[in-house]
Structure formats: structure tokens, C-alpha cells
Chains A and B, each alone.
Chain A
């Protein structure tokens, strides 16, 4: 009997055969820890994906429910001795769910708006942001929150509302210049992914990143034509659009002719590092994608290569560090952010219990699975409180929004900062 490779609608899930059912992943899976149900564990989901590919099982309601509950945090990959490429497997499964079970008209419209319109078109996203800013600045948001109207919205919508970041003023949402020269001895030329949501909501992070890179001798190019990297689409099962977004991104950054592509949002970084695998079956793109992926670096990875260039001003405060999933599990970056924080004079770093556990943000998970996201957030916030830290440092906008919301709800005055914000402070920013 010849063995035919296992696929789900053309996407290889052959990786399921690497799972030997040892179960070492179980206790590292946030959903399994919360629910204790095997279907909501990595081992159980791998089993289901295998059963789907083999035709032993079909996408019934429970199967969709359990597969959709996966955060795609990839903590299981860190734990797995067998090297199961779990992230790829679950993305294939989610893509299959979207094909077979696109849901009702409202859900489809919502997805189209998110994945097709907003993420695909930076201008549209900026326009939406302007509207949002108006909603907040006008006092309408405060009114809505007071009115209790939110609690009557359907689950995902109320989660959206609660998460809405305080959007910066238009001036802070302005794009970065296309080129920023290095200060001091030049170390190299790097290109920055400004991110789609990032550039709108957290423009300050990009500016901080740019300043720190310049201080550390990096010449920075910011390709103005860049769009979304497609990570959210891939995680959400929108495989086709994820492919075209990847190709566009590769094209834009190749033209920048930089030594490295620097990313300060974890989901994007992890996804772009996986372009090689994503486009492996496309002969026209496989090689380019592999080369591109090899040049992608998280900001902490790049900066930790050498001691930070001084002078650094003291930042006398106690902080704790939350590992974004797609930094620690997706890119296996654990030491670097801590090394960087340790270089800031006066700063005390307290280790966060379960620092590398998902906070529940997980891309758009907190919108699609608000209940589980809330449980994980409560767990995270509880740990933050136990450290007594004045600020949580992390490295991903989704985590920042999520943890901020959790702390706000508990009435905690604890700041949530991007790693680059702390470093920028140390540089006197």
C-alpha cells in the first residue's frame, strides 16, 4: 500500500504523522488547561485533523467548534519533542473550515470587511481609524459604555467595543518617512514593516523603533507601498488572500534592498518568517520566499546582537515581561527581550508567572472567541497583579490592547508598554 500524503484541500497536513501521541504538549495548551477536554488540546486537534484528512471524520459542529477554539499560540510547538508543525496544521484546518462552513451572512460580511477591505487596503483602514477616533473624541464612546448598550451587543461586537484602543490623534497616526539615516558608526541597512493595524493604532511604536534603530547605527528604509503581511488572514483561514498578500509584501521589500526586514509585531514576524513554507509549492515564488524569510528579524533579535549603544538614562521602575506567543513560540525568541531590558539602568525585571502563556488576544481570537479570551485574560491579569510590577512590557499590539483592557476592567493602574517604548524612554524619548 503506497502512502499518499495527507492533505486538506491541497494544503499538506502530512505533519500530523509526526505526532506520536505522547501528550507532552497538553499542559502547555491554554485551552486544554482551562477546559480539560482532549478535543481542545493540541494532541486532540492533531488527531481530528488527521481524522479529517483521512476521511474518518467530517467537519461537524463540534469539530468546527473545537478547532476554532485553538488560539494558534503555538505553545505546543515549543513543548513538542517530535517537531510537529502545529501552526501549519491548524491553519490548514481553519482554511478548510472557511471553505466548508463559511457561516451566515453577517459573519461572512464581517470577515469580508476585516480580511478583504480593511486589511487589504491601508487607506480604508486609515479611514476607519479616523471614524473611530471621532467616535472616541466626541464622547460617544463614553456614552455608549455608560449606557449599558454594549452588553446588549452580540458577543463578538461587545468584545470589539471593549477592546477599542484609544486612538492617537491624526498627527500620531502619520506615516514614517521613507528613509531615516543611521546615527554614529553605521551597522547596516534595515527595512521596517510598519504593519497595517500597527501603523494606525500604534504609530508611536514605529516611531520609537525607528529612533532606537537609528541610535544603534542602523539606516532605516520604510517602503511606502507596503501593505498587510497577511498573517491575520492566514490565521483566520483566509488562505487565498494570505498568499497574495505575502507575494506583494515580498515584492515591496525586495525593492528596498535592505540587509534585514525588521518587525515589531509578533504575529507579522512569525508569519513572514514562514513565507518559505507558505509559498513552497509555488515554483515561481518558493525561492524568493525562502530568501525573504531568512532576512526577517524581530526588533529584539536584531538589537540583542550587540550591547545597546549608550548613553541610556535610568528608568527606575519595576516591570514584568509578557512573551507574545508569536515571539516566544512562533519565533523562539525568549532571552533577547529580557537581555535588552536588563541593560536599562534602574529597571527591575520581575519574572511573570506563565509569562509565555497566551493572553487571549491571539490575532482576532478575542473577537471570535470572547469567552475563552476573557478566561485567559483573567488568568494573565491575575499573574500580573501577583508580580506587583508597575508596568507590563511586551512586544505585540494585540497583547497590549488585550492586557490593557484586562487591567482597566480590574481597575489596575499598571501601564502596558511595547519593549521599544521602554527603550525609547531610556534614550530620553
Chain B
């Protein structure tokens, strides 16, 4: 990738300002510096420009310019991602979508909303809340993260156990393709014709194009909600309770686990009411019809008690419920109280393997002389071991990375995945061969090529580097015609 000369950069800045207006283009290194990371500070990269489009036409114009100049580009929302997914390749253009944050339309009768990508996730629920609706996917960063970012990462959240992840809630997308063309995928109707382009676009981590309008489903708020806090003296008991709940034929809206270290941090932060001396706590939420919810809650309580819970209580009102959830959802940030940095892992395992995998995680982290806090979506088997470290201590970062890779391997070994909701981004690209063969990745690469033939749209993400792929490559692969012609790169 050629570095831009100062003259060229000036000229492009002028051109970008012409498209977007003054105050919508950053190119001063001091201003670009704050865009060098997302929520994961382990990775840093500087763009040539950060621009602030306000419409699909703006985005299209910038993308066409990038296309013409052969400059890489990437869309960025709030920058709360945890895999380095929105980082620029060294140089190129970052399109910040934070000025495209309107709710364009709400159709309550048909239970849908049309929004711009920079809209903060929670703000949609605020908008439709007064009429008794909400937007279901609720990543823990929902107070800051954007729906566009959720689209890129197919974000989940605690309540996705019952309600599904982002992809289950998207009906239509207006997309600026990597060549600048503006295209609608799907629309407002529940079905769309042909291949499920929305299905593949959601979760493509910004490598297929940039969504500029998003049609999402909004749901009726449940008539009743019941939140149960179960306290355990041993982590294994809590793990067992998760399977026990499922085995009794219940599908709660959420089953979250939070361990002792994490409880300490969130109690310091907000005093949410988690017992500090518990080895682990489960936060279980039921929702639905008011009738019958007590019966179901009793089954949850019984499942927890039978698994050894020392205390099981139900949130007495909405305020207590909100406080418990605030603690859960602020947990990552609260680690700042016990450590200057942390790296969050995002493995997924079959939930029946929870006790085994949690033990292995502790062993691995111990062996590296590090500390780990666990707070995660236990019902989905989506682990979040947070390895705490101090980046100012020499060598610690490297140990964290090594421990992280070992944890990912354990997840893969038990038939799990290396990411449940944070995405692959830069961080886990080299772990992809843990769960995918060369043939699997080759097919994904072809899919990417169909959307993004030049590879300028968020390059360097998702796919492993050539070296690590070669190590895993056991499956025969025949080069595709376009590779033979040199049009597509192998990784």
C-alpha cells in the first residue's frame, strides 16, 4: 500500500471537504491519534483521514474516491468493539458514522423501525419504549455501541438466549457497496427473495460494504419480567445449575454468570447488590406472560437450589432489577478498578462443557501468572474470561496473548467457537484455523470476493495470515479461476 505524499494528502483532504463540508474531515495527526484503537487497546493503527458522512450519498462519494485512489477504508461506529474490527489498515480512510444517528421511521403496527447506522443501540429502545416496544439485541455496551456496529459484528447480548442475536432482528439494509453503489438488501417485509444477503452481510465485520439504513424489528415489551439472583459458594455449582435449568425444559430470557473478582469490581463501581463473598452468582431472567411466570420462577429457584445455591432471591422491583443488570453490563469497564488493562476473550462452548472449560481457563491463566475475571452469557455457553494485566509491566502483554490463544484452543477442542459476539477482527484472525479448514476459509474468501472484489473495504480482518493458515492447511484446495488470474488474494 503506497503511503500518501503530503501533497496528495492535501489534495484529497480538499476533495473530501468538498464532498462532506468543513468540519467533516480530520487529517491532523493529533486528531487521528484518538482513532487508533477501538475498545481493545492491544491493537493500534493510524488512518490518513477520518471523515464524518451524513448520508448514504456522502458514504458513497467517499467510497468511490477510495476506490478510485486504491485507498483502504473502514466504517466505524462508537468504537466499542473488542476485536480491533474497525481499525484502519495503516493509512486509508475511516468513515465515522456517528453523525448518521437518526431514527428515520417507526411503524408500530408492523413492529419495525428504520434507523441510521450511528444510532446508539439503547437509544432505539428509548425511542420506542413509551409505546411499549423495545429493540431486543442488548449487547452489554448497548448504552454506547451503535446499531451499525451491531450489524457488522452480529452482536449478541444477555437476552439473545431467548430472542436471538442481531441477525434475527434485521429485515432490510441499505448498503454502500465497496465500489460505491447504493443497494437495498431486503426491505420491510419479513421475507426477501433469493440468497439471504442480509444473513451474510450481518456479521461480515464491515468487509462487505457499509450499511447506511437499517430496518429492524421491534418487539412488544413482555407483560412480566422476573429476575432471579442465585448465589453459589463454588463455581462448579453455578455451572451445573445452568445445565439443570435447561434440562428442566425452561428457556429463560437470560442466564448470566458473574464470578467473585468481577462482583468485587462492579460492587466498587455501583453497589449493585451482588454478594462479594460469593464464588459465583447467576442472574436468571424470565419474561413473558404474567400468568405462569411464578411457576416458572419456582422451577428456576428449585434448579438452582438443587445445584447447591446457598441463596436464591428475586428482584423485588424494577429498580433492583435495573441495578443488577447495570452491574452485569458494566462489568468490563469496572475491571478498570482492579487492573489498568484487560483482554476479554469471547469463546463459545456447548453449555454442558461449562464446568470443564472454566476449570481449564483457570489453570491456563494461573500457569501464566495472571488473573482472570469471568462474566458471561452462561445460558448460551458464551464465555468471557477477562485476563487482567498491566501493559506497563514488560512481558505481561505477551503472556496475556499466549494465555488467550490457549483458551481459544480449549473452546475449539470441545466443539465450540472462538467468537460468540465480539467478532474476529484483527485479534482472532490467526485463530480461525482452530475451527475452520482451509476449504472452509476459501469459501468464505470467495464470498467476500463477491462483495468486495478489490479488497479495499476493511482489509486485513477476519482471515488469518498466510503463515498460520499454512500450518493448519490439511485439506486439499484447488485455486479458483479468479485467483489464477490474480484477481483475488489467498491469505
A→B interface (CB under 8 Å): 1, 3, 17-28, 32, 36-39, 43-44, 47-48, 51, 56-57, 60, 62-63, 66, 79-84
Determine which of B40, B118, B270, B392 lies in contact with A3 in the assembled complex, contact meaning CB atoms within 8 Å.
B392
Determine which of B34, B41, B101, B341 lies in contact with A36 in the assembled complex, contact meaning CB atoms within 8 Å.
B101
Q: Is the C-beta of B30 less than 8 angstroms from some C-beta in chain A?
A: yes
Inter-chain CA distance A394–B459, complex, in Å, is 51
Q: Which of A27, A39, A79: most chain B Cβ within 10 A?
A: A27
User: What are 28 sample pairs from A and B whose C-beta atoms fall under 8 A apart?
Assistant: A1-B394, A18-B337, A18-B340, A20-B340, A21-B39, A22-B333, A23-B38, A23-B144, A26-B78, A27-B123, A27-B143, A36-B52, A36-B96, A36-B101, A36-B118, A37-B26, A37-B31, A37-B96, A38-B34, A38-B79, A47-B33, A47-B34, A63-B30, A80-B333, A81-B336, A82-B336, A82-B337, A83-B337
A79: B residues at CB distance < 8 A: 143
Q: Is the C-beta of B168 less than 8 angstroms from some C-beta in chain A?
A: no
A28: B residues at CB distance < 8 A: 143
A1-B392, A36-B52, A39-B34 known; A23+B39 contact, CB < 8 A: yes
Residue of A nearest to B118 (CB): A36
Q: Is the CB of A20 within 8 A of B123?
A: no
Inter-chain CA distance A26–B122, complex, in Å, is 13
Inter-chain CA distance A354–B41, complex, in Å, is 31
Digit string of B50-78 for contact with A (CB within 8 Å is 1, else 0)? 00100000000000000000000000001
Q: Is the CB of A17 within 8 A of B340?
A: yes
Residue of B nearest to A17 (CB): B340
Q: Is the C-beta of B235 less than 8 angstroms from some C-beta in chain A?
A: no
A21-B41, A27-B123 known; A57+B30 contact, CB < 8 A: yes
Q: Is the C-beta of B281 less than 8 angstroms from some C-beta in chain A?
A: no
Q: Is the CB of A23 within 8 A of B31?
A: no
B273 → chain A closest CB, angstroms:
15
Digit string of B337-363 for contact with A (CB within 8 Å is 1, else 0)? 100111000000000000000000000
Q: Is the C-beta of B99 less than 8 angstroms from some C-beta in chain A?
A: yes
Q: Is the CB of A82 within 8 A of B269?
A: yes
Residue of B nearest to A57 (CB): B30
Digit string of B28-51 for contact with A (CB within 8 Å is 1, else 0)? 101101110111110000000000
A66 → chain B closest CB, angstroms:
8
Q: Is the CB of A20 within 8 A of B34?
A: no
Determine which of B28, B141, B265, B394 lies in contact with A23 in the assembled complex, contact meaning CB atoms within 8 Å.
B141
Please list the 4 inter-chain residue pairs (A to B) with the smallest Cβ-Cβ separation, ordered nearest first.
A82-B336, A36-B98, A81-B333, A81-B330
Determine which of A26, A37, A47, A84 lies in contact with B336 in the assembled complex, contact meaning CB atoms within 8 Å.
A84
Inter-chain CA distance A60–B331, complex, in Å, is 36
Residue of B nearest to A80 (CB): B333
B334: A residues at CB distance < 8 A: 81-82
Inter-chain CA distance A79–B38, complex, in Å, is 18
Inter-chain CA distance A414–B438, complex, in Å, is 68
Inter-chain CA distance A106–B103, complex, in Å, is 44
Inter-chain CA distance A226–B144, complex, in Å, is 43
Determine which of B96, B101, B341, B394 lies in contact with A20 in the assembled complex, contact meaning CB atoms within 8 Å.
B341
Q: Is the C-beta of B335 less than 8 angstroms from some C-beta in chain A?
A: yes
Q: Which of A32, A38, A62: most chain B Cβ within 10 A?
A: A38
Inter-chain CA distance A417–B281, complex, in Å, is 46
Residue of B nearest to A353 (CB): B126
Q: Is the CB of A83 within 8 A of B269?
A: yes
Q: Is the CB of B31 within 8 A of A62?
A: yes
Q: Is the CB of B78 within 8 A of A27?
A: yes
* Known contacts A25-B144, A62-B30, then 10 further A-B pairs from the complex at CB < 8 Å, ordered by chain A residue: A20-B335, A20-B336, A26-B79, A28-B143, A37-B52, A48-B30, A57-B33, A62-B31, A66-B31, A81-B337
B28: A residues at CB distance < 8 A: 60, 62
Q: Is the CB of B30 within 8 A of A23?
A: no
Q: Which of B33, B35, B392: most chain A Cβ within 10 A?
A: B33
Q: Is the C-beta of B80 less than 8 angstroms from some C-beta in chain A?
A: yes
Inter-chain CA distance A160–B269, complex, in Å, is 39
A99 → chain B closest CB, angstroms:
19
Q: Is the C-beta of B411 less than 8 angstroms from some C-beta in chain A?
A: no
Q: Is the C-beta of B216 less than 8 angstroms from some C-beta in chain A?
A: no
Digit string of B378-412 for contact with A (CB within 8 Å is 1, else 0)? 00000000000000111000000000000000000
Inter-chain CA distance A348–B84, complex, in Å, is 49
Inter-chain CA distance A16–B101, complex, in Å, is 29
Q: Is the C-beta of B15 less than 8 angstroms from some C-beta in chain A?
A: no
Q: Is the C-beta of B268 less than 8 angstroms from some C-beta in chain A?
A: yes
A338 → chain B closest CB, angstroms:
14
Q: Is the CB of B31 within 8 A of A24?
A: no
Q: Is the C-beta of B332 less than 8 angstroms from some C-beta in chain A?
A: yes
A60: B residues at CB distance < 8 A: 28, 30
Determine which of A23, A36, A48, A80 lies in contact with B80 in the assembled complex, contact meaning CB atoms within 8 Å.
A23
Inter-chain CA distance A27–B34, complex, in Å, is 17
Q: Is the C-beta of B120 less than 8 angstroms from some C-beta in chain A?
A: yes
Q: Is the C-beta of B215 less than 8 angstroms from some C-beta in chain A?
A: no
Q: Which of B26, B141, B144, B342: most chain A Cβ within 10 A?
A: B144
Inter-chain CA distance A83–B30, complex, in Å, is 26
Q: Is the C-beta of B266 less than 8 angstroms from some C-beta in chain A?
A: yes
B145: A residues at CB distance < 8 A: 23
Q: Is the CB of A44 within 8 A of B34?
A: yes
A62: B residues at CB distance < 8 A: 28, 30-31
Residue of B nearest to A21 (CB): B41
A80: B residues at CB distance < 8 A: 333
